[in-house]
């Protein structure tokens, strides 16, 4: 019981620290990049080589389709995007990092990321999600970081992480509505190193809760 309580405290501590870094990182993100001449100059900033675009709080109602096809980082935090359809991300096959946090995502098509095979980081914080978009994750065999904190996820089924299960290194499920630890789903994440399940409805953890996750460093 003592081990269980200690692990639970660690979860809550990690959530607090992670939240702080998210806030600091968010503030810095608004200042990133340069004005993008010819590519949504009024709403986005970008890196000098046009490979990174920061379109935060820009009023987009859909993923912009006018950016260079070789973009490898796209930050669409705090827009008005509600749907990621089958073609939303198809224009950006070299994308490695996609940030869709703080959009009210009502629908993510099962084939949304079928062209984004190089995606390594996917951030879906605060998007009103009620479940893990499992089918959309199926082709993401290189995904290392998945953040789905601050949503309304109540359960995580076995197989929920699709093709990303064998590649994930960092997973955030904090600030959802999980009542129990999804052991079956977690057992598939053999290479997971960082797991944040703080600020859920989980009241206790068994001392042997994560016996199969040999690479787990931070809980």
In the prediction, which pLDDT does 20 show? 40
Residue 99 or 27, more confident: 99
Q: Is position 33 within any domain?
A: yes
In a domain, 212, yes or no: no
pTM of the shown model: 0.85
What is the model's pLDDT at position 204? 80
Whether 202 is in a domain gets the answer no
Range of the domain at 178: 2-196
- Assess if residue 85 is contained within a domain: yes
CA distance 202 to 138: 28
**Residue 46 covered by a domain:** yes
Does residue 218 register a pLDDT over 80? no
Residue 108 domain-assigned? yes
Taking CA atoms, 62 is separated from 31, 59, 76, 80, 204, in Å, by 22, 9, 10, 7, 41
Q: What is the pLDDT of residues 18-57, one digit of tens each?
A: 444 443 344 343 457 898 888 888 899 999 999 999 999 9
Candidates 162, 168, 149, 160; CA nearest to 11 is 149
Q: 210: pLDDT confidence band, cut at 50, 70 and 90? A: low
The answer to whether residue 115 is domain-embedded is yes
pLDDT tens-place string over residues 120-145:
999 999 999 999 999 999 999 999 99
- CB 94, CB 69: distance < 8 Å: yes
Q: What is the pLDDT of residue 166?
A: 93
Over 90: is that where the pLDDT of 203 sits? no
122 is a domain residue: yes
Position 30 scores a pLDDT of 44
pLDDT bucket at 215, cuts 50 / 70 / 90: confident
Q: Share the mean pLDDT of the chain.
A: 87
Domains identified in the chain, total number = 1
More confident residue, 95 or 190: 95
Q: Residue 44's domain is classified under what CATH number?
A: 3.80.10.10
Count Cβ neighbours within 10 Å for each residue of 120-148 and write b for 16 or more, e otherwise: bbbbbbbbebeebbbebbbbbeebbbbbb
Q: Are strands 52-54 and 45-46 parallel, antiparallel or unpaired?
A: antiparallel
């Amino acid at each position: 019981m003592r081990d269980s309580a200690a692990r639970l405290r660690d979860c809550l501590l990690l959530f607090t620290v992670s939240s702080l870094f998210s806030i600091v990182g968010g503030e810095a993100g608004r200042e990133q990049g340069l004005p993008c001449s010819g590519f949504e100059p009024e709403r986005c900033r970008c890196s000098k080589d046009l490979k990174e675009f920061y379109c935060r709080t820009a009023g987009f109602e859909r993923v912009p389709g006018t950016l260079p096809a070789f973009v490898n980082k796209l930050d669409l935090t705090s827009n008005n995007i509600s749907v990621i359809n089958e073609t939303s991300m198809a224009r950006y096959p070299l994308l490695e990092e996609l940030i869709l946090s703080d959009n009210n995502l009502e629908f993510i098509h099962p084939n949304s990321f079928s062209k984004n095979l190089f995606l390594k980081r996917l951030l879906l914080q605060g998007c009103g999600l009620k479940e893990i978009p499992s089918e959309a994750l199926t082709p993401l065999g290189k995904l290392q970081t998945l953040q789905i904190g601050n949503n309304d996820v109540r359960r995580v089924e076995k197989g929920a992480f699709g093709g990303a299960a064998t590649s994930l290194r960092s997973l955030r499920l904090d600030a959802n509505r999980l009542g129990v630890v999804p052991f079956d789903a977690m057992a598939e994440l053999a290479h997971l190193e960082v797991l944040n399940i703080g600020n859920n409805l989980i009241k206790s953890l068994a001392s042997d809760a994560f016996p199969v996750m040999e690479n787990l460093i931070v809980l």
